[in-house]
Amino acid sequence: MKEKLESLHIGKILYDVDIKDYTTFKVSSKVFALVFPDSLENLIRLLQFLKKEKIKYKVIGNGSNLIFVSDKYEGVIVRLDALSKVEILKDKVVVGAGYSLMRLALELANKGYQGFEFAIGIPGSVGGSLVNNAGAYNSSMAEVVLSAKVLTPDDKVVEYTKEDLKFNYRSSGLQYKNDFICLEVTFKLEKGNIKTIQETIKNRREKRFASQPLEYPSAGSIFRNPEGDFAGRMIEELGFKGKKCGGAEVSQKHANFIINTGKATGKDIQNLILEIKEQVKKEYAIDLVCEQEFVE
């Protein structure tokens, strides 16, 4: 299989990789191959090959919402780092799916564009953030997106409008379309007062460092907030702060964060998440929705 992959000449390929270096939870799981296609054409060639050979695969962004549950992933992980162009036009910016959302937000803020302040603390890629409608501070991708280019399962590149993307709270229609891959996003731009924008960013950074356990590997908020309430409040009231399962722990600083204290496994994190879900449902009759994805 290695020889077949190499013969495709599609970009950099790493074998027997520990995925912990490519996810924010830093949980170990050995992956057969990690592939970085160096162009859209080579991404398509790779996907055609994997489908033809019936090889399990997953396309990922920055790995900020993934929990690899087993210690081995018998398949291929695909990263879109090469899709990272940024083109600023008069009133919009076109950005490749592999670009860091946090980096984009900071660069636009420094150029005096407003509306992206919410994204300063979001560690995902542009593509992954679009799929999950990432957000914070009562704003999200839905507020700034104009359109997106998507690769369909039959290898066609289609442009989706904001309406086509069907954004909802922490989700988009792409979450439910298997094998549809975000390639590029077009955002609207709006000029603002650069001093005010930078002050907002500074204040939010200080608030994040004070209220979130950023000194530990995590995946941000574990659960979506149910309508009219906060997941963290319920989890804290049930006494889960500091609760441990192996190397995974519910943060003492923020109850809706689970942290890796150093040796957490994907199973540790999964078990803790499932226990919290069960207890919240039992106590409050609310079925919390996990923002993370378990990868088997």
Q: Which of 189, 182, 159 is nearest to 89 (CA)?
A: 189
Residue 12 has pLDDT above 90, yes or no: yes
* 15, 31 Cβ separation under 8 angstroms: no
Confidence (pLDDT) at 154: 95
- For the chain, list the domains and their CATH numbers: 2-79 (3.30.43.10), 86-196 (3.30.465.10), 214-295 (3.90.78.10)
pLDDT tens, residue by residue, 116-175:
999 999 999 999 999 999 999 989 999 999 999 999 999 999 999 999 999 999 999 999
Q: Is the pLDDT of residue 191 over 90?
A: yes
Cα→Cα distances 13→5, 127, 225, Å: 8, 21, 39
pLDDT tens per residue across span 224-282 = 999 999 999 999 999 999 999 999 999 999 999 999 999 999 999 999 999 999 999 99
Judge whether residue 178 has pLDDT over 90.
no
The yes-or-no verdict on residue 38 having pLDDT over 90 is yes
pLDDT band at 76 (very low <50, low <70, confident <90, very high): very high
Report the candidate in 181, 197, 101 with the shortest Cα–Cα distance to residue 140.
101
At 172 the pLDDT is 96
Strand pairing category for 258-260 and 248-250: antiparallel
Kindly give, in sequence order, each residue whose CB lies less than 8 Å from that of residue 135, ignoring residues fewer than 6 positions away. 118, 122, 141, 142, 170
More confident residue, 176 or 187: 187
Catalytic residue numbers read: 170, 221, 291
Average pLDDT value for residue range 78-87: 97
Q: Tell me, what amino acid is at 270?
A: Q
Q: Is 202 exposed, middle or buried (0-12, 13-18, 19+ CB in 10 A)?
A: exposed
